[in-house]
Amino acid sequence: MLSSRWVSPAAAGAMLRATRVLHAPGAPKKVVEIQTEANVRPAPVYVRVDAPPKPPGFAHRVTYQVNPDPSITTPMRVYQSMEPTLLPHIRMHTSVAEYMFGCWAQQDPAKTACVQLETGKSLTYGDLCRLGKRVASVLFTSCRIRKGDTVLLCMYDTIHFPPIAFGAMSIGATLSTTNVNMSETMMAHQIVASAAKVVITEKSRLTMVQRAVKRAKEETGTVVKVLLSDTMEKLRGEKVPDYYGGSTRSCRNDVVLVPFSAGTTGDPKGVQLSNASLNASIHQAVQTLALRHDDVQLSVLPFFHVTGFTLGMSAILAAGGTLVMQAHFDVRQYMEALSTYKVTVATVAPPIVAAILRHAEHTRQHSTTDSSDDKAAAGQQHPFPALRLLRSSGAPLTPRLWQDIQALFPDTDVGQLYGMTEMAALVVNTPLRPRDSPASVPIVKKKRRQDTTVAGVLVADTELRLVKVGEAQQSMRDTPSGHDAEEGAEGELWVSGPQRMLSYVDPLANKGIVVDGWYRTGDIGYIDNETGQLCITDRIRELIKYKGFYVSPAQVEVILRERPEVAGCVVVGVPDPLDASFEHPRALVVLAPGTIPADATDEEKAEHHARLAAMLIHHVESRAPPYKRLHGGVRFVDEIPQTISGKMKRRHIRKMEIDRLISDGIPARP
């Protein structure tokens, strides 16, 4: 085994940058600083390993590197993206706001940039530049926002979102986004956690936001200003002084976006994304979707989620295309928009795909049957010829959904994306079809599998490890082995790349999440030996994903243990029979001795179990929001499987419940 030291393009080491000295009469002087990029892992030491050659068309480059952990002598097997590197383009721009405003300024000022589907209102690229500067001036002069201050957006997907977001970033502000439908309590929590100084919201959410701001003030004593998104352009603000230059003096490591993620415990966690990570994600999204200036993208992904922010909003506007957005999903309006606006790219989620298919089936069943209409219908068999690309994210597409949506859009490249907030949305993408790919994007010529477990190939400049998961490792709180899984075997996905977050806002949440520059996803998968594509099969994280909401089992278990009848319990997610990409929380409960009379007959025990199950379900309903309820029911067991150290074997229990459902004839797997 020979060793040699050289630096890979995907982990280019620590980059040094000297910023300009920016000062003007009466303004504070700024010293020259040297900046090290914080979200790239240390330069690896590569080793030569005798390994069998990969088949032609293998989707990833495989390298072997010295493990940074001195106690592990075996090398790391690192899978690297084969897409052209974007690092030179990413490093050209210190500020993501500077990059976006530069992209907008290069377009024809009269070209339509954004369209609001519900109202038909639109903004041109000239409008984006003008409104973005107006937002910057209002925040700077009227709200006294400076570099590092937080502006919190509580907004639907509207045409005002892009200029407000990047206008705030242009003066060095940190942008935080929040679910527009969240509760007053959670809103107040996020205001405090993000240290927001200004909240920008919609008229429909104004009362809730004002109450949340009041609650936050009671906790911190800080006065938070509230502005309405659709009145920003009417507010007056003096021009931002030339000496200030909030974006031009920004550093690559400056935190510019703090979306909130469910993390690994269920409590919302602020994720710190830097100029470098967000800039990288936008560039990756443009390349991944092969976006062009003549593309029209229809997006319903919420912009307050990082996937919606990058793939649903920023990428198409960076490419100079047109973005059609829908604040409130309506399937009929959505389908009409595909034709009306000659949409070429659609970014969706599995529930949207399911709604589209139901609408298409309903339309087919209720269509008229006279011959003239039949002929017209025949001429409209494929009414969306412009739609070249459809990508789904947020949860796996089941094979049935994938096949049905592909049949509905036969000329469209259908696929899915895999990522997470901590990686600024993007890690893996279904390979593009050859005819939809520009020359700069390599093609995986192997047949693409329509399998829920298949995620695809790594996006540009992204690296992957598969780390062995031990039996004792039952959650993300447990120490990982650090050893790579055998080739072709399952392991936990550890990923790295320029899009990786800096850290969580809460220092306590960072423990064990980033190891030697690798982000631990908590998902389990393997690399297909034939194609080299990543397949995701399971997870070690404890969270249950119920209809897009994350449920912490531990929180539900605490509620169950309040009842004296419960001696022990565990909550796991079991697949939704109607959509196996989502899960229902199910409780396995060990009853306290004496809860059921020892001499009870089997029939009497069944009656007791039914009564107790209903009581426990009602108890959780009274203490938890709808998505945290026991939609998967309650099952009573004699014991709960545990490790030698006493930890519950959640993965084993979940598999046991899935096998039980299958044996009962219930579809529990896609």
- Alpha-carbon gap, residue 425 to 356, rounded angstroms: 24
Here the tokens at position 235 are: 């507010």
Distance CA 128, CA 123 (A): 7
- Look over the chain and give the mean of its residue pLDDT values, rounded to a whole number: 84
What is the total count of domains within the chain? 2
Say if residue 27's pLDDT is above 60: no
Average pLDDT for residues 250-279, to the nearest whole number?
84
Contact 631, 617 (CB under 8 A): no
CATH number at residue 112: 3.40.50.12780
Q: Could you read off the pLDDT of 610-646 as tens digits, one per residue?
A: 999 999 999 999 988 888 899 999 999 999 887 654 5
pLDDT band for 7, please (50, 70, 90 cuts).
very low
Residue 35 lies in a domain: no
Domain assignment present for residue 103? The answer is: yes
Q: Is 606 domain-assigned?
A: yes
pLDDT at 58: 79
| Buried-state track 371-392, b at ≥16 Cβ within 10 A, e below 16 | eeeeeeeeeeeeebebbbbbbb
- Residue 295: is its pLDDT beyond 50? yes
Phi, psi of 15 (to 5 degrees): -95, 135
Lookup: tokens for 462: 């992204």
Return the pLDDT at 378.
Answer: 36
**What integer pLDDT is reported at residue 669 of this predicted model?**
54
Q: Which range among 180-194, 323-337, 346-360, 425-439 shows the weakest confidence by mean pLDDT?
A: 425-439
**Residue 525 within any structural domain of the chain:** no
422 with 549, same domain: the answer is no
The residue among 459, 463, 456, 467 whose CA lies nearest residue 540 is: 467
- Three-state DSSP class for residue 109: coil
Tell whether 565 is covered by a domain.
Answer: yes
Angle, nearest 10°, between helix axes 96-106 and 125-137? 140
Taking only the tens place, the pLDDT of each residue in 158-172 is 999 999 999 999 999
| 421 has pLDDT over 50 | yes
Lowest mean pLDDT among 186-190, 401-405, 533-537, 578-582: 578-582
> In the prediction, which pLDDT does 294 show?
97
Contact between 415 and 430 under an 8 Å Cβ cutoff? The reply is yes
Domain that holds residue 640: 544-664
Q: Which residue has the higher pLDDT, 652 or 191?
A: 191
551 and 423, same domain (yes or no):
no
Q: Is 421 helix (H, G, I), strand (E, B) or coil?
A: helix
Question: 455-468 pLDDT, tens per residue?
Answer: 899 999 999 999 99
- How far from 357 is each of 125, 340, 385, 532, 545, CA to CA, in Å? 34, 19, 17, 31, 22
Which of helix, strand or coil describes residue 145? coil
Q: Is residue 339 assigned to a domain? A: yes
Q: For residue range 527-575, list pLDDT tens digits in order.
A: 988 888 998 877 776 678 787 677 878 779 889 989 999 988 999 999 8
C-alpha distances out from residue 661 to 528, 571, 580, 654, Å: 28, 16, 12, 11
CATH of the domain at 612: 3.30.300.30
Please check whether residue 135 lies inside any domain of the structure. Answer: yes
Estimate to the nearest angstrom the gap between the alpha carbon of 82 and the chain centroid: 23
Residue 51 lies in a domain: no
Final residue in a domain of this structure, among 412, 429, 446: 429
